[in-house]
Amino acid sequence: MNWTDFAGWSRRFADWTADYHRSLRTRPVRAQVAPGRILNALPDAPPEIAEEMEQIFADFEKIVLPGMTHWQHPRFFAYFPANASPPSMLAEQLVTAMAAQCMLWQTSPAATEMETKMMDWLRQAVGLPDTFTGVIQDSASTATLAAVLTMRERALNWEGNKAGLTGQKKLRVYASNEVHTSIDRAIWISGIGADNLVRIPVQGPNRAMNPEALRAAIQADIAAGHLPAGIIACTGGTGVGASDDVASVVAVAKDHGLYVHLDAAWAGAAMIVPEYRALWTGVDGVDSMVFNPHKWMGAQFDCSAHFVRDPEDLVRTLAIRPEYLKTHGHDGVINYSEWSIPLGRRFRALKLWFLIRSYGLENLRQRIRNHVAWSAKLAERLRGEPDFEITSEPVLSLFSFRYAPAGAADLDTLNQRLVDAINDDGRIYLTQTLLDGAKVIRFQVGQFDCTEDDVAYAFDVITEIARNMEPQ
């Protein structure tokens, strides 16, 4: 392909993209294909001779598109959103066109300096004090792993990377059962081990870690000769939106000199709305925090905002400086590869610049306010139905419910059947979770182009399919 052909196809792809987004409501949300269909439709061997782009694109529409779950669908109510607003997508086109590897300041000064500024814009937007600085990671999983590695190194007096964990006291990290499984992976990868992730019981409507149970667990570990390293709190947990009392967690941590990381991957974006910030009161006392603009704010995946109070601890944990990666002749520059686990870095800050300037914070705030209000309204409508129960109250735009008609014996099986039937139907997309061991159905509003009518339509679909299911 030459650059003239590239320009023509780019225009065609732009038109296709706009038509795709405008027509999403006519498509099933979740891919309606059987396992193996896409695999079997693809050739067994690569082509030896170049093929025409016309044929490649035709095959994309024929083979690939039916196998896509449409995350940008306005009736995507499963998991959490992975939004892609138009200005964010345009910025990503420019990033792709320039194809820079932004690992060091000198490999693209604009990427580094814009990242510094965009992280400060985000800091201000969510109300964090200026004691925090930040870096854009690819995902909250990576940010959490970086935090766990940092708490490990601090606890070991910076000897873990050098000497390893053999012969050391058992390191202990504390979290509730409501945290995301990325915390488990971080514990595995860091070498701390799953047996040393201490689960703290939760209490109250927010399913928050019990601070006295947390304190007792730390004291018991110290008495047993173990080495407490840190605490991982959450705001807006994935299951049903569990939110720890961050201030209480920080108070316990300070008494024992422990590192606190806050996972607010989904809910953190809502903190651009000042009236929601009570959900993470005490955040100014954590050592690090992560939230994902690529979820609720409209930034294209991947874009995860990782804030730290002491970047020197993060750099001391992760930085390796061979001669070929040194920036000579420029004092005080930031090389964000030293703040990240991968050396390679994309120019992620550009999409934030385009996004925030294109909408302004107030427009983004109103979208989030709408989603929260629409979700609460749906919860009340379902609560009013005699055969439905609200099993967890709305946390921002997330709540859970279950179908519980009179005489139903096995509600877990019934509700899994309902989720499966809804997703096979294709008009909306939901997911299930376990709440105190019981199967319940999650509902969250967050897709960028969702309307109040889309949320109201979900009520119709849920109740219609539930009441038309064959009894078992």
pLDDT tens profile 186-198: 999 999 999 999 9
We report the CATH number of the domain holding residue 267 as 3.40.640.10
Distance (Å, whole) CA 27 – CA 111: 37
Longest dimension (CA), the chain: 77
- Average pLDDT over all residues of the chain: 93
CB 356 within 8 A of CB 121: yes
Q: Is the pLDDT of residue 332 over 90?
A: no
Is residue 251 one of the residues assigned to a domain?
Answer: yes
Is residue 314 one of the residues assigned to a domain?
Answer: yes
Q: Is the pLDDT of residue 460 over 50?
A: yes
Task: Give the range of the structural domain holding residue 254, as residue numbers without chain letter.
Answer: 101-346
Instruction: Give the pLDDT score at 321.
Output: 67
Is residue 372 one of the residues assigned to a domain?
Answer: no
Is residue 165 one of the residues assigned to a domain?
Answer: yes
Number of C-alpha atoms within 13 angstroms, CB side, residue 383?
A: 13
Integer angstrom CA distances of residue 421 from 198, 401, 465, 466, 469: 37, 16, 7, 8, 8
Is residue 287 one of the residues assigned to a domain?
Answer: yes
Instruction: Give the pLDDT score at 328.
Output: 42
Tell me: the pLDDT tens digits for 351-391? Answer: 999 999 999 999 999 999 999 999 999 999 999 999 999 99
Is residue 69 one of the residues assigned to a domain?
Answer: no
Percent of the chain exceeding pLDDT 90 equals 83
Instruction: Give the pLDDT score at 106.
Output: 83
Instruction: Give the pLDDT score at 329.
Output: 45
Distance (Å, whole) CA 455 – CA 464: 15
SS3 265: coil
Distance (Å, whole) CA 262 – CA 280: 9
Instruction: Give the pLDDT score at 101.
Output: 87
Distance (Å, whole) CA 163 – CA 183: 24
Instruction: Give the pLDDT score at 102.
Output: 85
Instruction: Give the pLDDT score at 37.
Output: 93
Distance (Å, whole) CA 435 – CA 207: 11
Compute CA 409 distance to the chain's CA centroid, rounded to the nearest angstrom: 36
Instruction: Give the pLDDT score at 327.
Output: 53
Instruction: Give the pLDDT score at 184.
Output: 93
Q: How many domains does the chain have?
A: 1
Tell me the DSSP string of 158-222.
Answer: T-HHHH-STTSPPEEEEEETTS-HHHHHHHHHTTS-GGGEEEEPEETTTTEE-HHHHHHHHHHHH
Q: Is the pLDDT of residue 5 over 60?
A: yes
Tell me: the pLDDT tens digits for 153-186? Answer: 999 999 998 888 888 899 999 999 999 889 999 9
Distance (Å, whole) CA 421 – CA 427: 11
Q: Is the pLDDT of residue 19 over 80?
A: yes
Is residue 27 one of the residues assigned to a domain?
Answer: no
Distance (Å, whole) CA 222 – CA 315: 28
Distance (Å, whole) CA 188 – CA 185: 5
Is residue 229 one of the residues assigned to a domain?
Answer: yes
Q: Is the pLDDT of residue 456 over 80?
A: yes
